[in-house]
């Protein structure tokens, strides 16, 4: 596994994630689509918040199950605990400082977050 470093725009929040980044997910729900979030889900033990815990704000909506964390200074959405797997961490790939999405070209999986219930059922099959 490789270790990637991530941060928000103002660098007040930094993290690292250990993973094989061969697959990413794009969700079309209102929050992911409008913020341009590209997801990569990892286990909690693969994610390490290095600095800036006090600079994070939490946003929740709908079922209040997912936890979306963003920098309270620059507003960048860094990671979340997704509704689908709240015990995991979904890192916003756009926040990785040492990963070139266009160069690496991981497999893109689309998730129909606008129709969340039906999309989640398809994941279970």
Digit-coded pLDDT (tens) for 101-124: 889 888 888 887 787 677 777 765
Tokens linked to 20: 């094989």
Q: E strands within 44-106?
A: 47-51, 56-59, 67-71, 77-81, 88-92
Does the predicted TM-score (pTM) go above 0.95?
no
Helix (H) or strand (E) holding 123: helix 116-124
**35-71 pLDDT tens trace:** 889 999 999 999 999 999 999 999 998 889 999 999 9
CATH architecture of 2-124: Beta Complex (2.170)
Cβ count within 10 A of residue 9: 12
């Amino acid at each position: 596994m490789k270790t990637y470093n991530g941060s928000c725009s103002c660098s007040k929040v930094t993290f690292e994630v250990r993973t094989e980044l061969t697959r990413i997910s794009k969700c079309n729900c209102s929050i992911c689509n409008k913020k341009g979030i590209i997801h990569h889900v990892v286990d909690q033990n693969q994610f390490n918040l290095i600095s800036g815990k006090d600079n994070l704000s939490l946003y929740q909506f709908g079922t209040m199950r997912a936890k979306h964390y963003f920098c309270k200074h620059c507003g960048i959405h860094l990671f979340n605990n997704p509704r689908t797997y709240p015990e995991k961490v979904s890192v916003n790939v756009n926040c990785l400082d040492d990963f070139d999405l266009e160069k690496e070209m991981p497999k893109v999986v689309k998730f129909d977050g606008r129709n969340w219930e039906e999309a989640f059922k398809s994941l279970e099959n």
